[in-house]
Structure 1
Amino acid sequence: MKKKLFSLSLMFSCGLGAQQASQLFEMSLDELLNVSVTTPGKFAQSLDAAPGVTTVITREEIQSLGAGSLYEVLERAPAVQMMGSFFYPQNLAVIRGMQLTHASNEVLILLNGRPMRDSFTGGENFAFFTAFPIDSLKHIEIIRGPGSVLYGSNAFAGVINLVTLEKQAEPKVTLAAGSEGRQALELQSGWQGEEGNLNLFFRGFKEDGWQFSALDNGAQPGQFDAGEKNHSLLVTANIGGLEINALHAYSEQDFWGSVSSWTSGPAQDERQASSRRALLDVGYSLEISEPLTLDLNAGYASSDFSHYNYDASSDNYLLEAMLDYQMADAGRWLMGGTLWHQSIDTTPGLSVAPIPAFSQNWYSFYAQYQSRNQTPLNWYLGTQINKVENVDANTEFRAGIVYQLDAKQGLKLDYGGAFRAAYAVETQFDLIICCDDQGNNRGGLRGNPALEPEQVDTLQAQYFRTEGGHRYALSVFYSELSELVERQRAADRVLDFVNRGSLDVYGLELEGRYILDASQFNYSYSYQKNKNHGVDDFSLMPNHLVKWSYLWHGSQDWSAAIHHTWSSGFHSNSIRNPNTFVVNPEPGAYHLLGLTVTRHFQIGTKQAELSLTADNVLDEDIYQPEIAGRTINSHPARAGANAMLWLSIVL
C-alpha cells in the first residue's frame, strides 16, 4: 500500500440478517431475473415488457456489497460514472458519458416516482447522494435514455428512481466510529395498522475526510481534508389511501472553493459548501370506474445551497393529475398534466447576491399508450408538451416496440426525445466583475432568460435473454444533443449563457446477472464515444467501463461479496479548454476494488451480523478532469484504501 493500511471502524448498521441472507436465493429465478419495474411506464410491469432500457439494483445487492451511501451504490450500476467537482463534491451521476456541467441536471432523481429537482441549478444533488438513508430502499430502477415524455425536465440522459420499502420496516439501530474520523448514527422503525403503514428512517454520518492535495491555477501546492457532515430523515406512509413521501436531507462538504485557488477566498479550513433538500409529496388514487383511475399528487420541495460567496434558496410547488385507463388486453392509456411553481432568491456572503428574487411557472401535458396484448409484439407511443416562461412551448415524442421472440428472449427498439429546461442560475444570474485600470469589466457571468431547452433525440435497441439462471442484455444507442447551454464571452468581457452546443453520443452496453445455488454474479461492460462538431470525446468521460460483483450466501453463518470497476482514463481538459494549465497528474485508467465479509449470528433472540468492508483495496490514486472552471487539468477524485467494520442488530 502506498498510503496507510486500512483503519477499522465500529458500525451498527442495517444489513442482511442470517434469515434474510438465506432467503435471498429462495425466490424463483423469474422473480430474481425478470423483476417488476414501474419507472419506464408509470405502472408495474416486468422488465421484459417495459419500454426502453432499464437496470434494477436489488435490496439484497445493496446490502450484500456493503455500500455506505447512495453515491457508492450507483457507482456499481452499468454505464454510470459517479463524480463531482471541486465546487460540488460527490454531485454527479453521469449516464452514457453525457457530462455537460458539474450540476447534475441531465439525470432526474425520483423518490417513489416523484421528482426531486431544484429550480436554482436543476442539479445540486450531493445531499441526496451522500445523506439519503439507503437502508430504506427496496430497490433502485435506472432508466438509461430519455424519460421526459413522462417525467419532464432533466430526464435527459436517464432517470434514477429510489423505490423504498412497502412493508413495515424492522426496528434497527446504527452506531459508528471509524477511520478518518468517521462516525454515524442510524435508526429505522415502522408501524402497521388497519388503515395502513408508516416507516421512518434516520441517517447521520460525518468524517474528518481524506487528504485532497493538488496544485492550483497558480501552480501553488496546497491540501485539505475532504470531510463531510450528513443527516437525513425519511418518512414514507400509506394511510387511508394517501401515499406520503417526506424527506429532509442535509450535507456539508469541505471543498476547495469557488475557484481552484488556495489563496482566493477565506482560509481553507473555513471553506464549506452545504446543501439542504426537502420534499413533501402527498398522492391519492381515485377510482372513477373499474378501468379508469385518477392519480393526484401535490408536492412541496425546497432547496438551500450555501458557500462563502452567497446563499441560494428555492421553494417549489408541484401539482400533477394523471388519468390511468386500463383496457384489459387492449392496452393502457396515461394522460396527465403538471404545474410547477418556482420561487428563487439569493442572499450575499462575501460577494453580492447573484440572482434577484423572482418566481415563474412551468406547465406540461403528456399522454402515452402502451399495448398489452398476448401476441409476441407490443408497442408504445407517447408525447409531452412543455411550456417554460419566456420561451416557446416544445414537444417531445416517444415510440417503440417490444418483440418477444420466445419465452426466453426478446428485442426492444426505442426512440425517445427529451429536454432539459434552463434553470435560474442560467437565466437570471447577474454577477459582473468591475473594473480594470481602464474602466473595463474584468469578467463575470450573465444569465439569459430567453434560453431554449436543451434537446436530445435517442435511438436504442436491446436484445435480452433469460435461461438457466442467467439473464443478459445487449444494448446499442445513438443520441443527438442540440441547443446545449454554453458560456460565451461577450464584447464587454462578461460570460453570457447561450444555446450553441451540440453533441453526438453512441455506444453499446452489455449487462448480465447469473444465479447458481447460493451465489450471484453480476457483470457489465459499457462503451461510449461522443463528438462535438468533429471534436472527439468532448464530454471527457471514459470510453470504457467494466464492472462486476460476486455475492456468496452459502452458509447461514457466513456471506461474502467482492466488487470491481475498471475504468479507462478520462480525456484531457485541453479538449474543452486549450488554455488549461497542466499542473496535476493527467487522469488515467484505474481499478476500484471492494470486499465485504459478513458473519451472521444471534444475540439472545435478536438477529445480528458483523461485516468487514474494504474499499479501494488497491489504494489507487484516482484523478478526474477539473470540470467546474476547466482552468487546471485535474484534481484528486476520491479517497485511497479504507475499511469499515459493521455490526447490525435487529431490535
Structure 2
Amino acid sequence: MSEHLQSALGVQLNKPEADQWSLKLSHTEAFRAAFGVETNFDLILRNPDGSIRGGLRGNPNLNPETVRTNEITFRYQDTKTLFETTFYDSTMVNLIGRERAPDNVLDFVNSGSLSLQGIESEFKHEFNDSWWLQGNFTKQQNKSGDGIESFTLVPESMAKLGVVYKSLKGNWRLGVFDTYIGSAPETSIRNPSVDVVNPPADSHHLVSLNISNRLQTSLSDSPVILELYVYNALDETIYYPEIAGRQINTLPARSDRAAYFGVSFNF
C-alpha cells in the first residue's frame, strides 16, 4: 500500500425475499502520519546543576502507523426496529508511543504492533410515536505484539441503554440513559512498579436524566424551553487507569452527581 493511499474493499449482500436483512463484508487499510509534536517537539528539563532530569523529545524518523481491519456486519431494519451487529478483527503496526531514553527523556518511537478483536451491537425500537428504546453493546480484547493482553487498558465490556419519551404535541421530552463500563485492566500490566495511590478502575453505571418542556407564552412567538439535566444520578465514584505516564494506578474520571437547569428563548 502506498504511503499516500487509503483503501477500502467491501461486499454487501441483500436478498429481495428478506429485504429487512443485510450482510456486509469489508476489508480496509489506512495510515496515520506522525503529528508535528511527535516529530519536532523538544523540551528538555534540567536540574540546577545542568543534568537532565526528564523531558519530551520528538523523532523526525517516525514511520506512519498503519491499520488493517476485516469486518462482517449483520443488519435488520423495519419501520419500527433497527438492529446491527459487527464483528471485527484489526491489526495495527508501527504504533507511535513513548519510550524513556538512557538520559531520562521520553522519546517518541515506533513501538510495536497491536491486534484487536471484538463485537459491536446497536439497536433502536419505537413502541409508538411517543416512546422508544435504544442501546448499544461492545466487547473487545486486544494484545500487543509482545504478547501482553489488555495492552490498551480499556475495559473489555461497555453497554448503553436508554429510554426516550416525547409527548404527542412535542411539549415534553424525557430521556434516561444508563452507560455501563466494565472494570478496566490494572495499570501494572504496562508498568509492574506502578504506585497504587487511588481506588481501582471498577465497573460502574453512569446514569443521566434529561427533562425538557416547551412553553408557549404571550411574550414571544418562539417557545420558552425549560430543561433539567442530571449527571451521574447514582453518584458513582469513577476512576480510570492512568494511561499517559502510567506512574500511578488510576485517576478520577468523572464528577460526582450534578444537576443543571437551563432556560432558553428567542427575543
TM-score, reference length from structure 1 = 0.38
Partner of 1:109: none
Partner of 1:402: 12
1:356-393: per-residue Cα shift (whole Å, max 9, x none)? Answer: xxxxxxxxxxxxxxxxxxxxxxxxxxx8x5xxxxxxx4
The answer as to 2:208 corresponding to 1:598 is no
Partner of 2:199: 585
* SS at 1:603 equivalent: coil
Q: Cα gap change, 1:450/1:650 in structure 2, threshold over 3 Å: closer, same or farther?
A: same
Partner of 2:237: 621
Q: CA deviation at 1:618?
A: 0.2
1:501-533: per-residue Cα shift (whole Å, max 9, x none)? Answer: 211111001101111212121111111111112
Partner of 2:40: 428
Partner of 1:538: 151
The answer as to 2:163 corresponding to 1:550 is yes
* SS at 2:37 equivalent: helix
Partner of 1:509: 120
* SS at 1:587 equivalent: coil
Partner of 1:481: 92
1:397 maps to a residue whose letter is: S
Partner of 2:138: 526
Check the 8 A contact 1:549/1:562 in 2, yes or no. yes
Give the 5 Å matches for 1:396-475.
396-406=6-16, 407-434=19-46, 441-475=52-86
Q: CA deviation at 1:395?
A: 3.8
1:564 maps to a residue whose letter is: D
Whole-Å separation in 2 of the counterparts to 1:529 and 1:490: 30
1:408 maps to a residue whose letter is: Q
Check the 8 A contact 1:440/1:492 in 2, yes or no. no
1:403 maps to a residue whose letter is: L
Check the 8 A contact 1:405/1:411 in 2, yes or no. no
Cα RMSD after superposing both structures:
2.0
Structure 2 unaligned segments of length 5 or more: list them.
none
Whole-Å separation in 2 of the counterparts to 1:645 and 1:444: 44
Q: Cα gap change, 1:421/1:565 in structure 2, threshold over 3 Å: closer, same or farther?
A: same
TM-score, reference length from structure 2 = 0.90
Of residues 246, 257, 264, the one that matches 1:648 is 264
Whole-Å separation in 2 of the counterparts to 1:503 and 1:394: 22
Whole-Å separation in 1 of the counterparts to 2:15 and 2:260: 47
Q: Cα gap change, 1:462/1:394 in structure 2, threshold over 3 Å: closer, same or farther?
A: same
Q: How many residues align?
A: 260
Whole-Å separation in 2 of the counterparts to 1:613 and 1:493: 47
Whole-Å separation in 2 of the counterparts to 1:561 and 1:494: 49
* SS at 1:598 equivalent: strand
Percent identity reads 36
Q: CA deviation at 1:628?
A: 2.4
1:48-82: per-residue Cα shift (whole Å, max 9, x none)? Answer: xxxxxxxxxxxxxxxxxxxxxxxxxxxxxxxxxxx
1:313-336: per-residue Cα shift (whole Å, max 9, x none)? Answer: xxxxxxxxxxxxxxxxxxxxxxxx
Whole-Å separation in 2 of the counterparts to 1:470 and 1:611: 29
Whole-Å separation in 2 of the counterparts to 1:399 and 1:461: 12
1:380-418: per-residue Cα shift (whole Å, max 9, x none)? Answer: xxx8x5xxxxxxx45432100121123211111111111
Whole-Å separation in 1 of the counterparts to 2:45 and 2:210: 51
* SS at 1:639 equivalent: coil
1:494 maps to a residue whose letter is: V
Whole-Å separation in 2 of the counterparts to 1:551 and 1:572: 36
Check the 8 A contact 2:153/2:243 in 1, yes or no. no
Whole-Å separation in 2 of the counterparts to 1:564 and 1:608: 28
* SS at 2:191 equivalent: coil
